A and B are shown apart, each in its own frame.
Chain A
Amino acid sequence: MGKFWSILFLMVPVLGIALFFWAPSAGYWLPRDNSVHGYQIDHLFNFILVLTGVVFAATEGALFWFVWRYDAATNRDPIKFTHGSHNLEVIWTILPAATLLFIAIYQMNAWADVKMRVPKNLPPTVEVTARQFEWRLRYPGPDGKLGTMDDIHHVNDMHLPAGEEVLIELKSMDVLHDLFLPHLRVKQDAVPGMSIPVWFRAKDVGTFDLVCAELCGWGHYKMKGRATIQSRAEYDKWLEEMAVAQAATQEPEKEEE
């Protein structure tokens, strides 16, 4: 029987690893990277995936071998007791520690790029305020400044210019939320009482998902928005239209449909 179980358990790593090879071709992989910095994130992801994959394969292999080799039904070797191997313990402590340290140092630049090197002298493109359960957006109005009377307010439908550095000021009105733009490799918690800068440069125009990645309450699933990346010209036109609509003192003729 032991042989049966060992082969059954071997299926876990075999199928698991096979799944990873099959998934990208079937479309179950990271969404298309549409940001300039995203390759760093993807590289780190792939690097750590391969590293852990190798360790996973080796560990699972060893497990299989032990279960196979020392099957109670067939194994007639006398039992052996050992008080452990000091050398072995040193090795399996130092090796992972060194690996972790390596990863910690290796990713430092990417981390600093996306979390610490706030672009200087870049006016915020949009202020995103997360609340249960929607994304409230505020764009600087014609005067180019946020926090003035002509600010443009919108909800859930984020528009951003392509090909330029974009700075989002992320806030939360109530609880923890998380601004997640998977195609732009952006994921940042929104913390009540804090204004957190998020910046990136989008490559191509298109419409992408904007979701909440922090369980924020019963309506978490409702916090689905849309990020539309547009050319500068189109983006400016959109902003202008919004500004006009927001300054309305008369009912517009009939809403567009």
Chain B
Amino acid sequence: MIKAIAVEEGSNLTTSQIELAKRLMSERSFHRPFISRASSALVIAALMTFVVGCSTENSHPEFRLNLQDILAKMGQKPEDFQRSGDEDARKNYAKLQFMATALHAAFGDPDDPYLFPEVQWNAEEKKGLDLRKIKLAAGPFGGSANGEQRGLFRQHCAHCHGVTGDGAGPTAAFLDPYPRDYRQGAFKFKSTERTAKPTTDDLKRILRDGIPGTAMPSFLLLPNDEIEALVEYVKYLSVRGQTEINLAIDLFSNDEEVEPKKEAILETYLQPVVDDWAAAEELVVRPPARSESQTEQDLRESIAKGREIFFRKDAQCTKCHGPTGLGDGNDGAPEKDKLFDDWNKEKTPENIAYWLLPKKELRPRDLRMGIFRGGRRPLDIFRRIHQGIPGTPMPAGGRDEKNPTGPLKPEEIWNLVDYVRSLPFEDASEPAQFESHGATAMVEHP
């Protein structure tokens, strides 16, 4: 280059100028050996870190132990694990190790899930988990040797729900509400009785419809077999998480010995959870039929009745949802009386450090938004009122043979359903929910 400049511009440049140019060029390239080498080494190192990234660590991810519940709910303190050489600490560490091993024995690891034959899907009894489907959803993202899609959970779900299904994936902290922690076995939006598990169809419905008003998107366009694999994997993670909590209660809270035997783990800690999931199919809430033909007059009357019930002191709807349904009923409460999900309520200043995510307030639903997280069919809203929402302050208010003193009779719940469904379209929702460009507003858009 220098030569080219010199030749081309030779006629106009003095020799000294050329020398200066040469010196400048050479200084640029060679006179800063240390910094240059150091920085190029760093650039390479940084690039390597990027390329290698977390892959060495994640190439074989493990399920995360549920320390949160052990510390926050089972009377253990971090010191109980840390004093080196202390006998209690050694004992606690051994318990943790046993828990990890027992769970590994019963469930395998994220890349290679396993289930005892006793809890695998039994078509006759309609019970158990389908290991074939679970394997389809498990593992790292990508096709397996036989060309089957694998790693669906890590592809679609793990970044929020976490590899362990603890609802604390890398993106979880930014979301409101937090992603569901499957380990607690509590699911808010389902068709079954409050304390029952959701049915398979409930989970499929959530995957397909998403949960409006939350960060849970719809996976409607996934093929059915992938949806089923994901649902089965969610069940697997939930069963695993609850088995872990059951084990931890006996090990840490009750200070029991657990035998390192399959039967001991299966019968006491695992089988009851699997039975719960199987029982859910029978515990679906089926509201009494409503007359099919509802005229507009009927609807208006029903809405008016529903409004009355909404304000009734035995229904108490307004205490959280507010007299106008804006979800502001608890707004005047002092800090300590704010509303929380059960798993946020348990977070106190003393134990907050043990939790995976900070405490987050729960807002009662603003009924005028027209957003219904658990589904907008009258049937869905009926079930929300009848059974409440598990894990939240929303209580079960419906009357049936299992809860004969429930304040709300089925017909009254239907009236409430109509009222709640009409709320987004009431006049108080100004400005109007919808403003058309085609039919009414003739404003030319710029």
Q: Do chains A and B touch in the complex (CB under 8 A)?
A: yes
CA A251 to CA B436, docked complex, whole Å: 34
A257 in the interface (beta carbon within 8 A): yes
A226 near B442: Cβ-Cβ < 8 Å: no
Q: CB-nearest residue of chain B relative to A125?
A: B438
Assembled-state Cα–Cα distance A250/B380 (Å): 9
CB-CB under 8 A from B377, the residues of chain A are 245-249
Cβ contacts under 8 Å, A35 to chain B: none
Contacts across chains A and B counted by CB atoms under 8 Å: 103
Partner of A167, one of B191, B217, B438: B438
Chain B residues closer than 8 Å to A147, beta-carbon distance: 425, 432-434
Binds A, one of B145-153, B229-237, B284-292, B390-398: B284-292
Q: Which of B171, B220, B432 contacts A218 (CB 8 A)?
A: B171
What's the Cα separation between A224 and B217 when bound, in Å?
Answer: 11
A121 within 8 A of B: yes
User: When the two chains form their complex, are residues B224 and A156 in contact, meaning their CB atoms are under 8 A apart?
Assistant: no
The answer to the question of A78 belonging to the interface, with a C-beta cut-off of 8 Å to chain B, is: yes
Rounded to whole angstroms, the CA-CA distance of A251 and B201 in the bound complex is 11
Among the 9-residue stretches A7-15, A23-31, A112-120, the one with 4 or more Cβ atoms under 8 Å from chain B is: A112-120
Contact indicator A79/B9 (Cβ below 8 Å): yes
A118–B210 contact, CB under 8 A?
Answer: no
**Does B315 interact with chain A (Cβ within 8 Å)?**
no
A222 engages B11 (CB within 8 Å): no
Instruction: Please indicate the chain A residues that have their CB under 8 angstroms from the CB of B446 in the complex.
Output: 116
Task: Give A157 Cβ to nearest chain B Cβ, in Å.
Answer: 6
Given A72-B7, A155-B220, A197-B445, also A123-B378 (CB < 8 A): no
Range, interface on chain A: 35 or more
* Neighbouring A residues of B422 by C-beta, 8 Å: 149
For A133, A155, A249, the residue with the greatest tally of chain B CB atoms inside 10 Å of its CB is: A249
- Contact of B438 with A122 in the complex, beta carbons under 8 Å: yes
Question: A194 CB to closest chain B CB, in angstroms?
Answer: 9
- Asked whether any CB of chain A lies closer than 8 Å to the CB of B379, the reply is yes
Closest residue of A by beta carbon distance from B159: A218
* Contact yes or no, A121 B438, CB < 8 A: yes
A197 vs B439: C-alpha distance in the bound complex, in angstroms? 11
Residue A213, interface by CB 8 Å: no
Quick one: which of B171, B201, B287, B437 contacts A249, CB cutoff 8 A? B287
Would B439 and A121 count as touching, CB distance under 8 A?
A: yes
> Contacts A72-B4, A250-B287 given; 18 further ones with Cβ under 8 A?
A79-B8, A118-B438, A120-B438, A121-B438, A123-B439, A124-B439, A146-B434, A147-B433, A149-B422, A156-B221, A157-B220, A167-B438, A195-B435, A195-B437, A224-B221, A247-B378, A249-B290, A251-B191
Q: Give me the interface of A with B, judged by CB distance under 8 Å.
A: 72, 78-79, 115-116, 118-124, 127, 132-134, 136, 146-149, 153, 155-157, 167, 169, 195-197, 199, 218-219, 222, 224-226, 245-251, 255, 257
Q: 13 A-B Cβ contacts within 8 A?
A: A79-B8, A116-B445, A118-B438, A127-B434, A149-B421, A155-B218, A167-B438, A169-B436, A169-B437, A196-B445, A249-B290, A251-B286, A255-B201
Residues of B within 8 A of A (CB): 4, 7-9, 11-12, 171, 191, 201, 204, 209-210, 212, 215, 217-218, 220-221, 224, 284, 286-287, 289-290, 376-379, 382, 414, 421-422, 425, 432-439, 442, 444-446
